[in-house]
Amino acid sequence: MAIAWIMTVYTLNFNYLSYMSIRNSETHKIKKKMNYNVKTCPLVTIQLPIYNEKYVAARLINAICRLDFPKERLEIQVLDDSDDETSDIIGTLVDKYNKVGFSITVFRRVNRSGYKAGALKEGLKFAKGEFIAIFDADFIPASDFLRKALSYFDDSKIGLVQARWGHINEMYSILTKAQAVSLDFHFFIEQKAKSLTHLFMNFNGTAGIWRTICIKDAGGWHTSTLVEDLDLSFRAQMKGWKCMFDENLVVNAELPVQMNAAKRQQFRWAKGSVQVAKKLLIILLFHRKLPIDTKIQIFIQLTKHIINPLFLIQFLIFPILLLTNYQIYDTAWAPAVGLVIYLLMGPVTYMIMIRKIWRENWRTKALHYLFMIFYATGISINNSVAIFDALFGRRNEFLRTPKFGIMEKNQDWKNNKYVLPFTKTTLLEIFFGAYGCVTIAISLLSGNPIFVPLIALQTIGFIYVAYLSIIQSKNSDNKASLYLGPSTKYSLQDVKANDPLT
Residue 245: which of 164, 182, 181 has the closest Cα? 164
- The phi-psi region of residue 393 (left if phi > 0; otherwise alpha if psi is between -120 and 50; otherwise beta) is left
Q: How far apart, in whole angstroms, are the C-alpha atoms of residue 368 and residue 375?
A: 10
Q: Are 154 and 167 in contact (CB under 8 A)?
A: no
> How many of the other CB atoms lie within 10 Å of CB of 19?
14
Distance CA 336, CA 38 (A): 67
Instruction: Return the number of other C-beta atoms located less than 10 Å from residue 467's C-beta.
Output: 17
First-to-last CA distance in the chain?
A: 45
In the residue annotation, 217 being an active-site residue is answered as no
Q: Is 352 helix (H, G, I), strand (E, B) or coil?
A: helix
> What does 248-288 look like in DSSP terms, one character per residue?
EEEEEEPPP-SHHHHHHHHHHHHHHHHHHHHHHHHHHHT-T
Write out the DSSP string of 375-427: HHHHTHHHHHHHHHHHHTT--------------BTT---TTSTTPPPP-THHH
Cα–Cα dist 54/402, whole Å: 10
Q: Which candidate in 80, 81, 136, 246 is catalytic? A: 81
Q: Which residues pair with 211 in a beta bridge?
A: 131
Residue type, 234: F
Find the catalytic residue in 136, 138, 229, 246.
Answer: 229
Residue 20, H or E segment: helix 2-23
Lateral strand order in the sheet of 74-80: 104-107, 74-80, 44-50, 131-134, 208-211, 158-167, 242-253, 139-140
Supply the residues annotated as catalytic. Answer: 81, 229
